[in-house]
Amino acid sequence: MDAQPNSLEARDIHYHLHPYTDARKHQETGPVIIEKGDGIYVEDNAGNRYIEAMAGLWSVAVGFSEQRLVDAAARQFAKLPYYHSFSSKSHSPLVDLAEKLVKMAPVPMSKAFFTNSGSEANDSAMKMIWYRSNALGQPQRKKIISRQRGYHGVTIASASLTGLPNNQTSFDLPIANVLHTSSPHYWREALPGEGEEQFSTRLADDLEQLILAEGPETIAAFFGEPVMGAGGVIVPPAGYWEKIQAVLAKYDILLVADEVICGFGRTGNMFGSQTFNMRPDIMVMSKQISSSYQPISALMINERVFEPLADESNRIGTFGHGFTCGGHPVAAAVALENLNIIEERDLVGNARRVGGHMQERLGELASHDLVGEVRGVGMIAAIELVGDKATKAPWGKAGALGALVNDLLRQNGVISRNMGDALAFCPPLIITEAQVDTLVDVVKRALDAAAVQVKG
């Protein structure tokens, strides 16, 4: 990149190591620097305006310019800019938020615990699960099962749960006692002639065989996203969660619902667990809890988890886990106001109604020569790109077509994210049908432009 000396771009290249980025390629291409946001749009420092079709990172429910969240932060900064919750300390925004979350939960929950990111929350859930097993006198019950292509974060523990190679390769992960079972991607993984219910039954059988092979007495918990996000927006097939939960119940294994992406309206219900009739023991939340205006995450635990944990903390003298900024008062105040906005403006209903329109419009692209599958629910969707529709084979190297179309989208004013050859769409929950139409029209133009290059 021919960046001007001392420009933001040049300084970024010189000083900043980016997450989820090819560091060597970044030195050549440089960054896209986003300077401001308004509603569903963001603008870069060259004045280019984009529909932010990923809501940042699956995050910004209320849009990029919600003054009520700015005001909530300012009020709390002026009143109490920081305090912690160690050693029985607390503050009013944290108490209010904990109460609100527990009362919002789709299944009975007992307590909320606060962290700063989805990764930290999943990491904390793992530690609590191990702590609980020791409290119950079951020190052998430490293994945790997640799924191939699942995403649960990037700490050492949560990246071990994640079932994506790029989060583990060269990091010496996963750690011991983390196991992975089959991905529920029906379009990609089903056998010839296998219906969705049959596919779900096979995956539940796969899970049970894994449990039996490892020893049921050694398995503590199963982690799953209601809809897989970073793994490609994988919507579970018919009967999947019912069958998986039956296996877990049979062997007394905890269910952790990772609601980091699905929570607070994304699937057309307040929680993805409601959309798919999940009954978790632990729920993990982040992103849309504050529209990511402030870093905050939480996990809720039910009595089945809390009671042994409380007993063990009493035996030891403390629950020796927590974060300096977990439940930060400003972040908690912003989260409370954000949840109020989601409720007052019926953004969950908007995700259901306008999300249905988005699914329908994107579905019109299924016949395109480069599209293998269109999938989604509510206000989250993906288009799986292929070089050959009949064989589902990629164009050249896997991910090359996704990168090409993603770049064409950005050139035409839409920011998406390609996960390999799956293009994801997860716009702010405030998006309108007219804005969805504009978004899909750009996607169609990008696909057509890519087809000219691919097909010659």
- Amino acid present at 420: G
Q: What pLDDT band is residue 4 in, cutting at 50, 70 and 90? A: confident
Residue 433, judged by CB atoms within 10 A of its CB (0-12, 13-18, 19+), counts as middle
**Same domain for 311 and 437:** no
3-state helix, strand, coil in the chain (%, to 5): 45, 15, 40
The pTM (predicted TM-score) of the whole model is: 0.96
Range of lowest pLDDT (23-27, 152-156, 309-313, 451-455): 451-455
Tokens 């429910």 belong to 61
Structure tokens at 267: 């699937």
Q: Are 28 and 1 in contact (CB under 8 A)?
A: yes
**Domain holding 315: CATH number?**
3.40.640.10
For residue 3, pLDDT beyond 80: no
**Same domain for 360 and 338:** no
**Domain holding 421: CATH number?**
3.90.1150.10
**pLDDT digit string, tens, across residues 141-166:** 999 999 999 999 999 999 999 999 99
- Angle at 437 (CA atoms; ends 425, 292), nearest 5 degrees: 40
**End-of-domain residue from the set 296, 311, 344:** 344
Task: Say what the pLDDT of residue 2 is.
Answer: 65
Residue 3 maps to a domain: no
**Same domain for 307 and 394:** no
Q: What is the mean pLDDT of residues 189-210?
A: 98
Task: Say what the pLDDT of residue 455 is.
Answer: 80
**Mean per-residue pLDDT of the chain:** 97
Length of the chain: 456
**End-of-domain residue from the set 315, 344, 373:** 344
Residue 177 maps to a domain: yes
- Amino acid present at 39: G
**Same domain for 137 and 210:** yes
For residue 1, pLDDT beyond 70: no
Q: What is the mean pLDDT of residues 428-443?
A: 98
Spatial distance between the Cα atoms of 315 and 92, rounded to a whole number of angstroms: 29
For residue 237, pLDDT beyond 90: yes
Instruction: Give the rounded percent of residues in the chain with a pLDDT score beyond 70.
Output: 99
Residue 34, judged by CB atoms within 10 A of its CB (0-12, 13-18, 19+), counts as middle
**pLDDT digit string, tens, across residues 377-389:** 999 999 999 999 9
**End-of-domain residue from the set 323, 344, 365:** 344
Q: What is the mean pLDDT of residues 27-42?
A: 97
Structure tokens at 144: 């945790």
Q: What is the mean pLDDT of residues 16-20?
A: 96
Q: What is the mean pLDDT of residues 420-447?
A: 98
**Same domain for 289 and 159:** yes
**Same domain for 308 and 201:** yes
Q: What is the mean pLDDT of residues 351-355?
A: 98
